[in-house]
Amino acid sequence: MNIMFVYIKCLIYIFIYININDKGLKTINLKIKIFYLLFYLLNFNFICLIKLIKIE
């Protein structure tokens, strides 16, 4: 629950950052990189949650 909250908070901050600094085509690469990073983080958190469930 706590991990998910932190992840959603990071997601909101990153979307706000993209919207403030969006200057057209220059940020498309940045957006792709951020989405890859978020996908990686989501998978990492999912693995952590599975481990936490197995421990309990």
Whether 5 has a pLDDT exceeding 70, the answer reads yes
Task: State how far the Cα of 54 lies from the Cα of 17, in Å rounded to an integer.
Answer: 36
Give per-residue pLDDT as tens, 7-56.
777 677 777 766 666 665 566 677 677 777 777 777 766 666 666 666 54
Give the pLDDT of residue 56.
47
Give the pLDDT of residue 51.
65
Task: State how far the Cα of 33 lies from the Cα of 16, in Å rounded to an integer.
Answer: 16
Pair of tokens at residue 2: 């706590």
Task: State how far the Cα of 5 lies from the Cα of 22, in Å rounded to an integer.
Answer: 26
